């Protein structure tokens, strides 16, 4: 990455390049999603209800959050899990309930459920030794609304 010199010219070793924009210090990162995209808590709060893509250009934080969620749901097993949780009685299911129909082992299903949880698409509720997963109200609708 180029760093800005005191006179706002790029430190590149040549005089032919135009001046680079000054670098901006980024806020400390508090949360990392499964795709490696880091998003701070304040950025997550700031984009809780982003506008549709067609309404106005996205801000950087909005685009990063949408991209992170799209990467998570762009995996067929995770789409199947979201569908199964939505269709389950009461809108919730345990990892054990989801493993057999998909044909995957419990640890593999838990890995995918963790990715969905970290992306803010499902919540988990521990009841004794069982963990039940349910969709976050409106999370999928926000993705749909953003895409128009």
Q: So where are the chain's domains?
A: 31-147
pLDDT in tens, 74-115: 999 999 999 999 999 999 999 888 998 999 999 999 999 999
CA gap 97, 87 in Å, rounded: 12
Answer CATH for 31-147 from 3.40.50.720, 1.10.10.10, 1.10.260.40, 3.40.50.620: 1.10.10.10
Q: pTM above 0.75?
A: no
Name the burial class of residue 53, with classes exposed (0-12), middle (13-18) and buried (19+) by CB atoms within 10 angstroms of its CB.
Answer: middle
Q: Residue 39 CB: number of other CB atoms within 10 A?
A: 18
Q: Is 66 helix (H, G, I), strand (E, B) or coil?
A: helix
**121 compared with 54, residue with greater pLDDT:** 121
Cα separation, 132 vs 139, whole angstroms: 18
Residues 38 and 64: their CA atoms lie apart, in Å, by: 9
Residues 24-64 pLDDT 10s: 443 333 333 444 445 555 555 545 555 556 677 878 988 88
Q: How many CA atoms lie within 13 A of 21 on its CB side?
A: 3
Calculate the average pLDDT of the chain.
Answer: 73
pLDDT of residue 5: 44
The residue among 120, 125, 124, 114 whose CA lies nearest residue 138 is 120
Q: Which of 82-86, 94-98, 122-126, 143-147 has the lowest mean pLDDT?
A: 143-147
What the block records as the tokens of 19 is: 């001046």
Q: Is the pLDDT of residue 133 over 80?
A: yes
In tens, the pLDDT along 16-32 reads 444 444 444 433 333 33
Q: What is the pLDDT of residue 68?
A: 86
Please, which contacts does 55-59 make with residues 24 or more away whose CB atoms are closer than 8 Å?
Answer: none
């Amino acid at each position: 990455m180029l760093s800005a010199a005191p006179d706002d010219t790029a430190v590149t070793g040549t005089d032919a390049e135009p001046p680079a924009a000054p670098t901006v210090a980024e806020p400390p990162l508090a949360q990392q999603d499964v795709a490696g995209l880091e998003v701070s808590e304040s950025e997550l709060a700031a984009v809780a209800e982003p506008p549709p893509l067609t309404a106005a250009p996205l801000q950087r934080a909005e685009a990063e959050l949408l991209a992170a969620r799209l990467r998570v749901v762009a995996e067929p097993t995770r789409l199947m899990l979201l569908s199964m949780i939505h269709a389950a009685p009461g809108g919730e299911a345990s990892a054990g309930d989801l493993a057999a129909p998909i044909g995957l082992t419990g640890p593999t299903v838990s890995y995918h459920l963790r990715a969905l949880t970290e992306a803010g698409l499902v919540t988990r509720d521990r009841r004794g030794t069982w963990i039940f997963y349910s969709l976050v109200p409106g999370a999928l609708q926000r993705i749909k609304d953003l895409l128009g």
